[in-house]
Amino acid sequence: MKRHVVLIGLPGAGKTTVGRLVAEQLHAGFVDIDTVLIRKEGKPIAMVFAEKGEPAFREMERKEVEAALANQPAVIVPGGGWAAQPGALETAKSAAYVIYLIATLETATARALPSGTRPVLMGGDSEAQMKELLKAREPFYKQAHTSVHTEGRTAEQVAGDVVRLAQTSAGW
């Protein structure tokens, strides 16, 4: 029986890029939670964060992930902070195969910065902020079913590993 594939990791770990490739290769749906929220709210995530605050954003994110998990098996990519929310991983792991995409702090920071849409990295020393995020979130990320290293690898190579894991462990 097919299970969802949920990709977790730091902002800039490659979740969205890899997730799209994986969904394409598996002929699966792709659910980027940030994109869903941008469409529903009619504004960028940074604005939602600024106007409603992080707790309200995380609640909206949780509801969208739960809605995606209730649908046909797909590749689901929540934001980097979703996994650190109470109960989020436990809920997902019952219906999905959760994979932690591991990137170094330097790589994740470099990838995350150009977009300017990462509210948790705005205003200050981005590498120091990313280090704090990793410290707070890594204990949650490590609760994933498995992990895939992204360092020094193309998105296609990482996606290939995720596809193989989906095929061997998630029924694809």
Tens digits of residue pLDDT in 59-118: 999 999 999 999 999 999 999 899 999 999 999 999 999 999 999 888 887 777 655 455
CA distance 55 to 58: 5
Residue among 43, 50, 95 at smallest CA distance from 68: 95
In which band, very low, low, confident or very high, does the pLDDT at 32 lie, cut at 50, 70 and 90?
very high
In which band, very low, low, confident or very high, does the pLDDT at 44 lie, cut at 50, 70 and 90?
confident
In which band, very low, low, confident or very high, does the pLDDT at 122 lie, cut at 50, 70 and 90?
low
CA distance 129 to 132: 5
CA distance 113 to 118: 8
Chain centre distance of CA 24: 17
Q: What is the pLDDT of residue 124?
A: 58
**pLDDT mean across residues, the chain:** 90
Q: Please give the structure tokens belonging to residue 9.
A: 């990791």
Whether residue 143 has pLDDT greater than 70? yes
CA distance 14 to 9: 8
Residues of the chain above pLDDT 70, percent: 92
DSSP 104: -
Beta strands in 36-105, from DSSP E residues, in sequence order: 74-77, 96-102
| Element of type H or E holding 26 | helix 15-26
Average pLDDT (39-66) is 91
| Residue 30 CB contacts under 8 Å (≥ 6 apart), including other chains | 19, 20, 23, 24, 74, 75, 77
Q: Please give the structure tokens belonging to residue 106.
A: 């330097």
